[in-house]
Amino acid sequence: MKKFGFLLFLVVMMIAFPKMADASSYSAKIYLDGQQINVSSGAKVENINGTVMVPIRIVSENLGFQVDWSKATKTVTVQDGSQKVTMTIGSQYADINGQRVQMTKAPVLRGGTTMVPIRFVSEQMGMQVRWDNGTKSVHLTSGNAGSNPDGDDGAHTATVDGISFSDNKLMVAVTGNAKPSISKLGNPDRIVIDMVNTEFSDSFGTMNDYDEVNKFGQMAVSGYSDVKSVRYSLYNSSPLTVRIVLDLNQPANYTVSGLENGSGILTVALTAATDPSPGTSGKKIVVIDAGHGDHDPGAIGVTKKREKDFNLAMALKVEKLLANEPNIDVVLTRSTDKFLELKDRAKLANDLKADVFISIHANSGPSAATGTETYYYDQSDKALAAALHKEIVKAMGLKDRGVRYGNFHVIRETKMPGALLEVGFMSNKTDESKLFDPATQDRVAAAIVRGIKNYLNVN
């Protein structure tokens, strides 16, 4: 019966996904900083699986960027000042000032017209884009106009198309750029999945038990010891948020996969909750905090890279190394691109009664500023900061800017020794290149672990 349910789900998805993959064309309106721009006659906008694609001439004629097209290599280059983006028809990888970056959708040719993903191009040029599905309009916001006041970057671009539970796995079919935030809660035990800027598709109710009026549905689950039921609802309307709840019979851990490239199947696989709570086995508790996240990008680098991405990459690398340490339990304040208030980061560490708290950041300043510096708040923090700084400076190979006092919220409000790392400068081309070099990141992660172990005096 379980296998039949899973096969039925796959058949439904096979039927549904071809429809999702079809591009829809509209005579769309395009707005720049709130003002409608004139679009060339006949220009169409396509929404392919939640990725908004526009003719390249809109980029050149209306946004003012320099655009070059090479018929021989089928490449299009968009340039604005020092920022240069090169894309190839059919390839999901773009070149940004020499760096290879993956896009959610490759450029395509439509009757001799080159279509490019407007979100990707605009963000690389320091702009924001929002697709309004109700009015079929694209809203662009330049850097001069400030950030989207609602923090609603890319609203209405994702839909939940189907939900199934089989083989102890929750599977959610998603179209668009969904970013699930998943948490495990107790009293009662449950796993909660929130997807902001996401709604249920028009066809969702035909495949699932769903009350269109109350925007709520529930799936009964039988034959599984961990799960009672699966509930789902349009939890919030501003911004649109889909919430899915797995009601558990007992605590359970989980792994997450899917949606790496936007649309697809989000899979939440349940695993036995055999791991003890952090610290209950006598291990030292280390909390690693990746600064910024989601709508808060942190510092923007010379090549438009974002500090939040560096911070998270480093935190995940440190976590992976610390997971192999027999005398240390590691906890991350965030493991995905989500935003946490400063007070919530400190509260997490305080609630866990952690032994150390480390917040990872990258600096910004004049283009000539370079080097590594580490901050402490209280004298009791200084030894930890010094132990970390010594190792990180050696790993980065940049100027030693010293261990300094800093009145930062996350190390001021935590009750255990804490340190805030400024590994290098995003505003310096050499520093930025090192910060985003995978081999350098690996060395720095290992250096942070050595500093932690030296401070805690653990083997």
In a domain, 320, yes or no: yes
Indicate the average pLDDT of the chain. Answer: 81
Domains in the chain, number: 3
DSSP string, 170-224: EEEEEES---EEEEEETTTTEEEEEEETEEE-TTHHHHS-EETTTTEEEEE--S-
Under a CB-based contact definition with an 8 Å cutoff, are residues 129 and 138 in contact?
Answer: yes
Residues 109 and 177 in one domain: no
- Identify the pLDDT of residue 3: 47
In a domain, 13, yes or no: no
Owning domain of residue 37: 29-142
Question: Per mean pLDDT, which range of 123-132, 405-414, 419-428 is the poorest?
Answer: 123-132
In a domain, 148, yes or no: no
Residues 288 and 398 in one domain: yes
- Residues 20 and 17: their CA atoms lie apart, in Å, by 5
Q: Supply the DSSP symbol for 147.
A: S
Among residues 217, 240, 272, the one where a domain terminates is 272
Check residues 144 and 265 and name the one with the higher pLDDT. Answer: 265
In a domain, 359, yes or no: yes
Residues 448 and 332 in one domain: yes
Among residues 272, 298, 328, the one where a domain terminates is 272
Question: Per mean pLDDT, which range of 92-96, 128-132, 421-425 is the poorest?
Answer: 128-132
Residues 367 and 290 in one domain: yes
Among residues 246, 272, 298, the one where a domain terminates is 272
- Identify the pLDDT of residue 67: 82
Which of the residues are catalytic? Answer: 422
Among 325, 297, 319, which Cα is nearest to 310's? Answer: 297
Residues 191 and 264 in one domain: yes
122: enclosing H helix or E strand? helix 118-124
Of 248-257, 315-324, 421-430, where does the model show the most confidence?
421-430
Residues 206 and 303 in one domain: no
Q: How confident is the model at residue 309 (pLDDT cuts 50, 70, 90)?
A: very high
Residues 313 and 418 in one domain: yes
Q: What is the β-pairing status of strands 216-220 and 227-237? A: antiparallel
Q: pLDDT (tens digit, 9 = 90+) per residue, 102-159?
A: 777 888 887 777 888 877 777 777 676 666 666 667 777 765 443 333 334 444 468 8
In a domain, 429, yes or no: yes
Of 31-40, 79-88, 329-338, where does the model show the most confidence?
329-338
Residues 328 and 397 in one domain: yes
- Identify the pLDDT of residue 151: 39
DSSP H helices in 323-402: 342-352, 382-396
Residues 404 and 319 in one domain: yes
Report the CATH number at residue 232: 2.60.40.3500
Residues 261 and 308 in one domain: no
pLDDT at 23 over 70: no
Report the CATH number at residue 57: 3.30.457.10
Residues 288 and 348 in one domain: yes
pLDDT at 100 over 50: yes
